[in-house]
Amino acid sequence: MKTDTSIRHRIAQVEIFPVEVPRRGSFDLQRGRTPRTSPFTVVRITTDQGVVGWGEGVTQVRSLFAVARDHLADALVGEDAFNFTAIHRKMNTIEMMVTERLGHWNCIRCAIDIALHDAMGKAFGVPVYQLLGGKQRDSFEIVKNIGVSDPPSSAEGALHCVEAGYRNIKMRVGGEHAVDMARIRAVREAVGPEISIRIDANQAWGPKEAIRCIQDFEAFGIDSVEQPCKFWDFEGAAAVVRSVRTPVIADEGFWTADEARLLLQARAADTLHVYLGKCGGLRESMRIASLAQTFDADISVGERVPLGISEAAHAHYAAALPNGHFPAALAYDLNEHDLLCEPVRKDKGAMYVPEGPGLGIEVDEDAVRHYAMKALA
């Protein structure tokens, strides 16, 4: 189908759907067990030319649905749909007026941003990755999280992942050090030397303890360590970066591009773990990727058990990254339904980038309505 790129598209309607999708399972973290449902927010934006874009906000904070409905949906109607700078500026202004601080609404900002990129890609007849600078890869490796359990169970879970084709395992640490050591040892012995093991401390340590623990874990050939120190402790994280051989990944340490810049200036991470929902969408996340390049840092991509719209958006983001060499944390497969007619393709530990205009997906609107009714019940 030919498209006329000279036509200006304005936002005609912003529809907000809170959805509640049951999960088939959960796994243990050091700080608790993951939730049993995905109470996320889906956004559908329609332009005055009839182009529809879909977005998804991934957060357990159910009230953000009301934030989008009450503060953003009507306010964006009439805006130039593809003037992302102006739209983000407007969302920022509204958020500042309501909360006096930016970043609290990032998951909703993300859903709107994804929907607008989807619509723009459809209007111009190109995939979203083309809007982000072009495709650097057709597929990318994904890392499988095995959660927290005893050493034999950890080893068994990791071995099942490898047998399913995964080459990258993620383990949570930060509990009793001797137990963490035993778990990592058991996993390494089970999967062999060729499988990468990423550990995630979720801010469990102070700097001195982090250095000691990571140096001990390095005997087992760990690939990287995620968020070893408190999110605010850039000085401590920088000391860890200087003291260990293992690349340090920042996750909770930043939300926005401005926070990422401060973290990188402090040399407090080697890699940034970007969630589109955490960082406010594709536009802000590409800014973060550019900052990382400036500081010779890498990008790891992930999200919190996303549904299919968010998965597709993350795939396009990962495809466009010049500095996305770490496996992506997108291998959850826990949701009962991903709200798509056909899921984003995953095979043997890799995710494939959808082709076609926009996100390259077809949203199952019957499923959206079904799970929206559950959320509103």
Q: Are 215 and 240 in contact (CB under 8 A)?
A: no
Both 224 and 173 in one domain: the answer is: yes
Range of 219's domain?
139-352
Q: What tens digit of pLDDT does each residue of 100-134 get?
A: 988 999 999 999 999 999 999 999 999 999 999 99
Q: What tens digit of pLDDT does each residue of 270-279 get?
A: 999 999 999 9
Q: What is the CATH number of the domain that holds 282?
A: 3.20.20.120
333 alpha-carbon distance from chain centroid = 14
Q: What tens digit of pLDDT does each residue of 203-230 get?
A: 999 999 999 999 999 999 999 999 999 9
| 131 belongs to a structural domain | no
Q: Is the pLDDT of residue 373 over 70?
A: yes
pLDDT score for 315: 98
Q: Are 328 and 351 in contact (CB under 8 A)?
A: yes
pLDDT score for 256: 92
Both 105 and 179 in one domain: the answer is: no
Both 332 and 213 in one domain: the answer is: yes
Both 119 and 204 in one domain: the answer is: no
Amino acid identity of 30?
A: Q
Tell whether the torsion through CA atoms of 324, 327, 329 and 333 is positive or negative: positive
Cβ burial 31-49 (10 Å sphere, 16+ → b, else e): eeebeebbbbbbbbbbbee
Q: How many domains does the chain have?
A: 2
Q: What is the CATH number of the domain that holds 33?
A: 3.30.390.10
| 274 belongs to a structural domain | yes
Both 201 and 72 in one domain: the answer is: no
Both 242 and 198 in one domain: the answer is: yes
List, in sequence order, every beta strand (DSSP E) within the chain.
11-18, 21-22, 28-29, 32-33, 37-38, 41-47, 52-57, 139-141, 144-145, 168-172, 196-200, 224-226, 248-250, 271-274, 298-301, 346-347, 350-352
pLDDT score for 147: 84
Amino acid identity of 315?
A: A
| 58 belongs to a structural domain | yes
Q: Which residue from 186, 144, 156, 191 is spatially nearest to 348, judged by alpha carbons? A: 144
Cβ neighbour number for residue 365 with a 10 Å cutoff: 14
Cβ neighbours of residue 187 under 8 Å, at least 6 residues apart? 146, 154, 155, 158, 169, 171, 197
| 359 belongs to a structural domain | no
Q: What is the DSSP string of 130-191?
A: HHTT--S-SEEEBPEE--S--HHHHHHHHHHHHHTT--EEEEE--S-HHHHHHHHHHHHHHH
Amino acid identity of 15?
A: E
Both 234 and 320 in one domain: the answer is: yes
Mean pLDDT of the chain: 95
C-alpha 106/C-alpha 15 separation (Å) is 18
Q: Is the pLDDT of residue 317 over 60?
A: yes
pLDDT score for 3: 53
Both 117 and 178 in one domain: the answer is: no
pLDDT score for 30: 72
Mean pLDDT, residues 149-160 taken together: 96
Res. 1 pLDDT band, cuts 50 70 90: very low
Q: What tens digit of pLDDT does each residue of 56-101 get?
A: 999 999 999 999 999 999 999 999 999 999 999 999 999 999 999 8
| 157 belongs to a structural domain | yes
Cβ neighbour number for residue 208 with a 10 Å cutoff: 12
Both 170 and 266 in one domain: the answer is: yes
Both 242 and 304 in one domain: the answer is: yes
| 171 belongs to a structural domain | yes
Both 98 and 168 in one domain: the answer is: no
| Strands laid side by side in the 168-172 sheet | 144-145, 168-172, 196-200, 224-226, 248-250, 271-274, 298-301
Q: Are 226 and 255 in contact (CB under 8 A)?
A: no
| 347 belongs to a structural domain | yes
Res. 2 pLDDT band, cuts 50 70 90: very low
pLDDT score for 377: 67
pLDDT > 90 fraction of the chain, expressed in percent and rounded: 90
Both 176 and 225 in one domain: the answer is: yes
Radius of gyration of the chain, Cα coordinates, nearest whole angstrom = 20
Res. 34 pLDDT band, cuts 50 70 90: confident
Q: Are 91 and 105 in contact (CB under 8 A)?
A: yes
pLDDT score for 14: 98
Mapping DSSP to helix (H, G, I), strand (E, B) and coil, where does residue 111 land?
A: helix
| 185 belongs to a structural domain | yes
Cβ neighbour number for residue 343 with a 10 Å cutoff: 17
Q: Is the pLDDT of residue 231 over 90?
A: yes
